Amino acid sequence: MQAWRGSILVILAAAAVSSAQVGLLSPAEEKIQTAEKAIQNNPQRYQNYNDLAFALVSWAREISDAKCYSQAAEAVEKSLSLAPGNFEALKAQVEVLLGQRRWKEALECARPLNQRTPDDVPIWGYLAEAAFALGDYDESVKATQWMLDLRQNNARGLLRAAELRVVHGYLDGALDFYNQVYQQVPPHEVAQIASILTHMAGAELMRGRVESAQKLLDQALQQFPGYYLSIETLARLRAAQGNSREAVDLWRRRNQELPTPESLYGLAQALEQDGQRDQAKAAYAEFERAATPLVDQPANANRELVLYNVTYAHNPAQALRVARLEVARRHDVFTLDAYAWALADNGQYAEAKAQMEKALAVGTQDAAFFYHAGVIASKLNDRSAAEHYFKESLDLNSVSTVSAQVRQELQSIETRDRSGQAAARGK
């Protein structure tokens, strides 16, 4: 029992900042405390450990701390030792695997549970989440549809459906679903409210609606001050507005507690954009040190590592090596895009085009995708496709992180056209 007590205290201490900022315990922290007390009162009741595991998973999602998943896994193990095969523990186990980004294992664990209890909505949710992360969007859609058919308007189903709509480029529909969930959430669930608002802001930002995104993020941070995901999105928004100094400040604030390799990369990019070369160099180095050992791990920053090697380190071979590792694990649109970008950087434009088309076929409305597709088309001397993609990128989001490069590319196409016309006239 002592070990349990100690481990939870360590986790609670780690989140002291977020709690102090809010002034109250978050709902997940409250649930952890309740479960802890219940374990103290009745250490032989397996359900108490399940409750603790679920609460820890919720908390891990609130504060982005992978260590919580290990603690949750221990709680699941304890529950299963007290009551082998108990259903709630097996469900918690899948949630832990999903949190640890072990999607294939999560699928393997969730499938027999789904066969055992086919009307269990959360299990369909696990299948949907794992399939989504792996890029099996059709499977994810099927599982999500089951969720909504079994229990209309349930929040998990709507959130999953909203994410699918985002990836399929149906942003208005996604916002509609997010809004429906938002209406359902009770006021004390501040972390969930902030998460929904931040996802909505992310969808708005994808199409350059900066003001709307700003309002949603203001609301999110008012609800749940210091929420890491809101700060990350706000930093991206500032970058889109050209306010790179504030973007740097926000990334620094984000990285004060529990930085991830992805958030270190965000800071490095912001520093570079702000012209702080030495600081950017140091930040990129820190990112590389953090991300490289994780290359073979399920929870990695391989997509960022690919982009880093292409755009900053100029190490095409390393970019492609990492991209191939990741694409062997999953083929979601973002991994496909990173892979295509790495292939292009290695001069393999035809294969890059094929991978990029696979990503675009899903329908995701991401300005960077269109930029990458445009560059690849340009390298393949497909002027009209390149122009089409660049224009799509700008039409979608005129203030995206790649909008400056897109404008430059369009300008160089025009310049080339003019030179060509002049040369033709000269002849």
Residues that bind another protein (CB under 8 A): 27, 47, 50-51, 54, 88, 91-92, 120-122, 151-158, 180-181, 183-189, 192
- Provide, rounded to whole angstroms, the least separation between the CB of residue 53 and another protein: 9
Rounded to 5°, the CA angle 357-361-364 comes to 110
In the complex, least distance from residue 101 CB atom to another protein, rounded to whole angstroms: 21
Contacts of 394 (CB under 8 A, 6+ apart): 367, 403, 406, 407, 410
Q: Hey, is 209 helix, strand or coil?
A: coil
| DSSP symbol at 151 | S
What minimum distance in Å lies between the beta carbon of 325 and another protein? 35
Which is closer to another protein, CB of 185 or CB of 380?
185
Q: How far apart are the first and last CA of the chain?
A: 88
Give the shortest CB-185-to-another protein separation in angstroms. Answer: 7
Compute the least distance from the CB of residue 220 to another protein, in Å: 18
The dihedrals phi and psi of 7, each to the nearest 5 degrees, come to: -65, -40
User: Measured from the CB of residue 380, what is the shortest distance to another protein in angstroms?
Assistant: 47
27's tokens: 């709902």
Q: Are 368 and 402 in contact (CB under 8 A)?
A: yes
CB of 16 to another protein, least distance (A): 24
DSSP track, 361-389: HTT---HHHHHHHHHHHHHTT-HHHHHHH
Nearer to another protein, 2 or 152 (CB): 152
Closer by beta carbon to another protein, 146 or else 370: 146
Residue 328: partners with Cβ closer than 8 Å, 6 or more residues away: none
**Closest approach of Cβ 262 to another protein, in Å?**
27
For residue 130, what are its two tokens? Answer: 């794992």
What DSSP state is assigned to residue 118? Answer: T
CB-nearer residue toward another protein: 153 or 297: 153
Q: Encoding tokens for residue 301? A: 């920053």
Eight-class DSSP state of 168: T
Please count the residues of the chain.
427
Smaller CB separation from another protein, 158 or 210: 158
Nearest Cα neighbor of 178 from 159, 165, 150, 153 is 159
Closest to another protein by CB, 38 vs 413, is: 38
Q: Comparing C-alpha atoms, which of 348, 335, 291, 5 is closest to residue 137?
A: 335
Q: Which is nearer to another protein, 27 or 266 (CB)?
A: 27
Residue 92 or 396 with smaller CB distance to another protein: 92
